A and B are shown apart, each in its own frame.
Chain A
């Protein structure tokens, strides 16, 4: 029986430099046992470096890393109780999938026979029973991915690391495999750290998401928190596109605040805002457009693109250019149409930066 353990992970003031370049500035992060935490961010933000430091493939320049409460900062990769699924899967091309899965077990000192039995079990776990004799080149992309997951899981690590595990799959398969990974993680209850640059993927699989930018944590929280209450314009834009509009906070009363844009007042969640000038993140599908001229908040369509189930507009307004997604395909508006801008009740958040 394969029963991965669930260890906690603690990063304490981690700093990582490559020569003169600082990849990670003072990162501190705690991951609770049994959670799937995603490191999300644009390329070059340090998310993969963080994962590799956890695996032991890079060593931090300063700071401490604890896995399951044990200091592993100086331990080499092969002495750490974690295992990793690589972006390229990194299946050994000269070994059958069974040998691939058994490899780590044999490295850990298991007898060849036991290792093979356990490897069989691992393949069964990911739905590849009976495929053990195939070489990686004889498997489809999705099957290779599953072999990679099985190879990591049979070691029953305290933490499973996944480095962009879906990026080599086509779009259709990606959705299916991410569901499988999440389902497996919840069934076996192991701790997992997942790196991706795709926010949809992050939203779909994570217990918590850590967004990184330029080597620091930009925001950390549940998928819902991050989407609905982004801390900055960067996060609002990264977690699904957002328009950032200047506004004035008129009054705050408990959970709600009243704000004014272009002379119109709206009520939005307050999120500790103080009265005064502020920024507002507005999701493209939270903006309504009505054909009208001389409206209170007027705009003019400069560009329209019909995309089947929705229409995308660019609208020039007094507060800048807005990007709008409108599901009303039946009344697609032509460029140069004058419109009145309105806001829906949700998808709007005051941000502090």
Chain B
């Protein structure tokens, strides 16, 4: 009972402090600025919950205060079952009520007419939730969990119950609440009142659904164009990926190491960079365009700006991802199957078409669906290359930032995009689940993969070699482009762009970061550094709960978490600004919203990696630790984490790098104070400052290569030391990384 009381006392203390000691509502200048200290506790804007009730007529706050008091009283109950029941009930009621009052009472009074008619009009509304409200909500969640734990839920393990409750709480706030707000937003007017006109107008909009291109004549609607592009990109990148995978595993191609390097590219390349490089090659002033025009007199065209250009850029961007998925599949086909086929008098051709390829089919379908989701979610390339022929993700963006500023249209477009990606996600999950033939058993599976039939071998080489050259040229352009004065007009070499972006001066004996890029660069690094460990922690904790704990609704829990991954970044971005711009939670323009966005978007990769690594750890290790008097928290810290080092590193690197390279959600969430590198670069591109943009991009790529190489070095060392201690724990981090990249 001792430590049960102790942990409960701490939480109750936090709960009481939330009402007495910190400002209840949001502070305009930021809580951590501590500017509120001077006015505390008397000024209305910074006063704690208790004074809000007594002095400022916010009577509805009495209810959570009373619930908190009930929880404090319950602490002194004798019967543990009874005490647990009261605590759980109080916690649940507290969370529910706080949510309800936050949603129901806005700046100027009731948000809903139904409550106004029920309770009468309010004299005054309330600002957004601040430290006090958030702390008390957290305290209620913990009280609820401790209550359940005392009643023996999850074998009485308070840490596990609290973790599950907190994760559900956070995912509800940062994934479901925004997406829900966006759905609601589709039916709302600017002032928040219910108005289905916008929805009905937009959902029937001809520019979305027109099938003009099929019947001849006009262009097709943006939804169909996006779908068509996604199917083409998925097809293209899957075929290329398969060709690469076959070359890497079944031929004597001399540059296999180089092929493997390709897999790192999508992780470190900011998503719009390929598009940028393509414009340098094939744009109106591109090298090849000019060359063609001077040699053959071909008129420079604008063919690149549109679906064709986006398609090329996307296939270039996503082929490495599909390669990464498919190389596992191709390697996973058991050689003994192929050998069996050969002993059954099948030649190489027949073996490939009748045995190897059918065994790879589910993997190929998986790669196709991943390519499809990637293409749908891609924002950077269409932004750079789309011109007036946008796709859904860019249309969403322009619906908000452009001159039209039509949130309802943005919401409708986002819903359509979400439907597409979720369909693909569900297909991937249910249709493909359990259809994996690529088996890597623990048994020694001797034998070698047979070589490809000659025609296939020629075909894949014919695809891979030009593509590799093309990729090298593209990346060469990226690195080289930053040193050219004005692309296409004045090709003399210069360091000006780098100087403009990254100059450093000594002024008055102090270092001055005078380059234009430094501001966004340091913000990016700072936010990436904050969000990476959080992402890894949340991801691995979730993995632990999914693999190691059995609880009701575990599958739903896992599904909901993984689903947040299929939500395209643009959708997340638009839903975040719709949800977090007004009370009860106001976070737009802060670093917090960027961090929250990164944590909940990148967490599923940590979950995947953690689940894979943790399922290979014998469960009896945890149990042994528990029977040795360790709490599950200590078990995680002392036993599980040390054994999961590679997975942790992978999750850290991935979330760090992703925070640097992602653009789609970020572009909605940045502010003047917190500008990120990618959105800054996009701004440069829009202003036509290609040189600086390219210079900045290559700088980012170099930084990320250094970071990844550094981590890889650390992990590699680890692996050597613990080679034969836990058989099979060593998962290849890059594999888990790449499979899940969505822009």
Cα-based distance from A299 to B626 in the complex (angstroms)? 58
Chain B, residues 611-655, CB within 8 Å of chain A (1/0): the string is 000000010110111111111101000110011000000000000
Among B155, B618, B642, chain A packs the most CB atoms within 10 A around the CB of B155
* B-side contacts of A151, CB under 8 Å: 624, 628
B726 within 8 A of A: yes
Q: Are A92 and B634 in contact (CB under 8 A)?
A: no
B629 touches A92 (CB 8 A): no
B629-A155 in contact (CB<8A): yes
With A76-B155, A86-B623, A92-B639 already in contact, the answer to whether A107 and B725 are too (CB < 8 A) is: no
Q: Is the CB of A83 within 8 A of B627?
A: yes
Cβ-based interface call for B447 (8 A):
no
Interface residues of B in 139-188 (CB under 8 A from A): 151-152, 155-157
Q: Are B642 and A94 in contact (CB under 8 A)?
A: yes
A75 to B642, CA, bound (A): 27
Smallest beta-carbon distance A287→chain B, Å: 43
B615–chain A nearest beta-carbon distance, Å? 15
CB distance from A96 to the nearest CB of B (A): 11
In residues 169-196 of chain A, which contact B (Cβ within 8 Å)? Answer: none
User: Is B643 in contact with A103, judged by CB distance below 8 angstroms?
Assistant: no
* Cα of A77 to Cα of B621 in the assembled complex, Å: 13
Determine the residue in chain A with the shortest Cβ distance to B157.
Answer: A76
Kindly list chain B residues whose C-beta atoms are within 8 Å of the C-beta of A78. Answer: 626-632
Q: A107-B628, A152-B628 are in contact. List 13 more A-B contacts (CB 8 A).
A: A76-B155, A77-B155, A77-B623, A78-B631, A83-B628, A90-B623, A92-B624, A93-B722, A94-B722, A104-B629, A107-B629, A136-B725, A151-B628
B633 to chain A: closest CB distance in Å?
10
Question: Smallest CB–CB gap between B160 and chain A, Å?
Answer: 9
Q: Which of A84, A107, A137 contacts B630 (CB 8 A)?
A: A107
Q: A59-B152, A87-B620 are in contact. Are A93 and B726 (CB under 8 A)?
A: yes
Interface residues of A (CB under 8 A from B): 55-59, 73-80, 82-84, 86-88, 90-94, 103-104, 107-108, 135-137, 151-152, 155, 161
| Chain B residue contacts of A103, Cβ below 8 A | 625, 628, 630, 638
Is A86 touching B642 in the complex (CB atoms < 8 A)? no
State A74–B1 Cα separation when bound (angstroms): 12
User: Contact at A94–B725, with CB atoms within 8 Å?
Assistant: yes
Q: Cβ of B204 < 8 Å from any Cβ of A? A: no
* A residues in contact with B638, CB < 8 Å: 92, 103
Q: How many residues of B contact A (CB 8 A)?
A: 28
Partner among A79, A90, A108, A155 whose Cβ is within 8 Å of the Cβ of B618: A90
Most-contacted residue by chain B among A74, A88, A108 (CB, 10 A): A74
A82 touches B627 (CB 8 A): yes
Q: B724 in the interface, Cβ–Cβ < 8 Å?
A: yes
The 7 closest A-B pairs by CB, nearest first: A104-B628, A90-B624, A90-B620, A77-B626, A93-B725, A107-B630, A76-B156
Q: What separation, in Å, do the CA atoms of A93 and B645 have in the docked complex? A: 13
**Docked complex Cα distance between A133 and B427 (Å):** 52
Per a CB cutoff under 8 Å, which of B621, B625, B632, B725 touches A135?
B725
Measured between alpha carbons, how far is A190 from B638 in the docked complex, in Å?
A: 29
Contact in complex: A86, B620 (CB < 8 Å):
yes
A140–chain B nearest beta-carbon distance, Å: 15
Residues in chain A near residue B155, CB distance under 8 A: 56-59, 76-77
Can you list 22 pairs linking A and B with CB atoms under 8 Å apart? A56-B627, A57-B626, A59-B156, A74-B152, A75-B156, A76-B156, A76-B157, A76-B626, A77-B627, A78-B628, A84-B623, A90-B618, A90-B620, A90-B623, A92-B624, A93-B722, A93-B725, A104-B629, A107-B625, A107-B631, A137-B724, A155-B628
DSSP majority for the B interface? helix
The distance from the CB of A72 to the nearest CB of chain B, in whole angstroms, is: 10
Q: Closest CB-CB distance, B311 to chain A, in whole Å?
A: 49
> Could you count the A-B residue pairs with CB atoms below 8 Å apart for me: how many are there?
94
Q: Which residues of A contact B629 (CB under 8 A)?
A: 78-79, 104, 107-108, 155
User: Does B125 count as interface, using CB distance less than 8 angstroms?
Assistant: no
- Cβ–Cβ contact A88 & B618, under 8 A: yes
B residues near A, CB below 8 A? 80, 151-152, 155-157, 618, 620-621, 623-632, 634, 638-639, 642-643, 722, 724-726
Q: Chain A residues with Cβ under 8 A from B642's Cβ?
A: 94
**Nearest chain A CB to B718 CB, angstrom units:** 10
Q: Is the CB of A94 within 8 A of B620?
A: no
Q: Are B156 and A74 in contact (CB under 8 A)?
A: yes
Give the dominant DSSP class at A's interface.
loop
Check B624–A74 contact: CB distance below 8 A: no
Question: Which residues of B sit under 8 angstroms from A107, Cβ to Cβ?
Answer: 625, 628-631, 634
Minimum CB–CB distance for B145 against chain A, Å = 14
A152: which B residues are within 8 A, CB to CB? 627-628
Residues of B within 8 A of A76 (CB): 155-157, 626
Q: Is A90's CB under 8 angstroms from B621's CB?
A: yes
Q: How far is the CA of A93 from the CA of B630 in the complex (A)?
A: 17
CB distance from A190 to the nearest CB of B (A): 15
Q: Which residues of A contact B628 (CB under 8 A)?
A: 78, 83, 103-104, 107, 151-152, 155
In Å, the complex CA distance between A164 and B722 comes to 28
A56 to B639, CA, bound (A): 19
Complex interface: chain B residues within 8 A of A108 (CB): 629
Least CB distance, B645 to chain A, in whole angstroms? 9
In the complex, which residue of chain B has the Cβ closest to the Cβ of A52? B623
Task: With a 10 A CB-CB cut-off, give which of B80, B618, B629 has the most chain A CB atoms.
Answer: B629
A96 to B606, CA, bound (A): 29
What residues of chain A lie closer than 8 Å to B626, measured between beta carbons? Answer: 56-57, 76-78
Q: Closest CB of chain A to B678's CB: distance in Å?
A: 39
Rounded to whole Å, the gap between the CB of B253 and the closest CB of chain A is 38
Q: How far is the CA of A286 from the CA of B621 in the complex (A)?
A: 46
Partner of B624, one of A73, A79, A86, A135: A86
Alpha-carbon separation in the docked complex, A78 to B626 (Å): 5
Distance in angstroms between the alpha carbons of A108 and B628 in the assembled complex: 8
CA distance A73 to B152 in the complex (A): 9
Closest to B150 in A: A74
Nearest chain-A residue to B726 (Cβ)? A93
Task: Return A2 CB to nearest CB of chain B, in Å.
Answer: 15
Q: Which residues of A contact B630 (CB under 8 A)?
A: 78, 103-104, 107
B722 surroundings in chain A (CB, below 8 A): 93-94
- Distance (Å) between the CB of A38 and the closest chain B CB? 19
Closest B residue by C-beta to A86:
B620
Cα A300 to Cα B145 in complex, Å, equals: 71
B100 shortest CB reach to chain A, Å: 33
Check A137–B627 contact: CB distance below 8 A: no
**Alpha-carbon distance between A75 and B155 when the two chains are bound, in angstroms:** 7
Distance A75 CA – B618 CA, assembled complex (angstroms): 24
Q: Which of chain B's residues have a CB closer than 8 A to the CB of A88?
A: 618, 620
